[in-house]
Structure 1
C-alpha cells in the first residue's frame, strides 16, 4: 500500500519501522518471531523496533501465558494519530482514513484481538486517550481524574487539544475529582467542554485517571518518569465500573 507507506514516512518512520508496522496491521496479534519473519528482520532488530513503535504509540503489547504478543494500534485510530502532527498532514490523514476499511478487513482475517492493551510513554498514553474519543458510540465518558497531576505532569498542549476535540465531537463528560484549587478552577470551563465536574474530598487526591466509555475502561498513570495506560475492553467490567461510578457521582459534591 504505497499511500500508507508514504503517510508513515511523512511522520518520520524509517523503512524498517514501516515494515514492522505493516506486518502488524495485516497480522493482528503476533509473536515477535512472527513479526521478524514477516518483516524479514532478525529478532534483535525486531525487538528494538517494536520498543520504538511502542514509545511512539503505534504498537501495544499483551502477555499471554507468560509470552509477549504485539499488535498495531487499531486502524481507525491512525487518522487521529496523524492529526496531532499538524495541519500540514491533513491531506495525508484523509488518505489513511480511506484505507481504514481495507486495513480492518485484513486484520479481521488474523487472530482475535486481546481485551487488554498496554500503552507506554507519553505518546502511547496520548494514543490511549484518542481511543476514548474515536468511535465513542455513547458520546459519554465517565471520568475519575487527579486534576493536579493533569496540570503538573501532562503536556498542556495535548490536554487542550484533547478537551477541544472531545467537545467538538459532542462527547459529554462527568468528571469526579478531588476538590483542590486547581480542580475548582478547572470547573469554570465545564460548559465549554461539555463537562460536569463533581468533587470528592481533597485527601483522596491521586496521580492518574480512570475513563469509562462504551464497553471499555481506560486506566492512566501520570507518573512523570513512566507514564502509561491500560485499556480493558469487556462489557461486563465496563458495566460494573459504570454502576460504581454512578454511585460515586451521586455522593460527590456538585
Structure 2
C-alpha cells in the first residue's frame, strides 16, 4: 500500500512539473524586478529551452523505465517457461516411482498376511535414469526439489538393498559350512589346515553380510511404511501437474 501511494505521488509531481513549468515561466516574464535584467523574449527563450530539455528527459526516462520493465517481465516469463522440460521429466519419473512403490506396497500386504514382514527373497525394482532430474535446480519450487530428491534417494537405496538375494547367500553359507565340516574330518596336511582357515574366514564374512542385509532390508521396509511413500509420491505428482498447468496457462493467456 505504501508503495502505491509513493508511486502516485511521484506521477503527480511529474505532472505538476511538466504542466506547471509553462505557467511559472509566464509568471516570471510578465513583470520586472530588480533582479531581472534581461528582456522578456530572452527569458522566454531560456526557459523554453530549459522546459523542453526537462520534458525530453522525463519522456526519455519513462521510455527507458518501460523498456526495462518489459525486459524484466520477458526474462521472468522465459525463466518460468524453462522449467517445463524439467517438470515433464520429473512427471515421468514420478509415474515410474508410483508404479514401483505400488509394487512394494503389494509385496508388503502379501507379507503381512504371511506374517513375514521382512522378506529374504530378491525384489527387482526398475532402474531409473538419473539424467532425468539432473536439471532439477532450475525449478523455483525448492520444496518440490527437496521432496523429489528425498524420494529418488530412498528409491535408489531401496533398489540396491532389495536386489540382494539373501536366500542364495544363506544357501552358499550352508554349503561353505558343510565343506568346512568335511574338511575338518579329513584334514591331514598343512595345506588342509590353511584351507580350513580360509573357509572359516569366508563363512565369517558371509554371515556378517547376511546380517547386514537383513538389517538394511528391515530399515527399508520400516522407512517405506513409516513415511508412506506411495501417498507422498501421488502428492508430488499432483504438485508437478499443477506447476505444468500454471505455466502452460500463462503461455495461452499471452497468445
TM-score bin, normalised by smaller chain: under 0.3
Higher RCO, 1 vs 2 (CA within 8 Å, ≥6 residues apart): 2
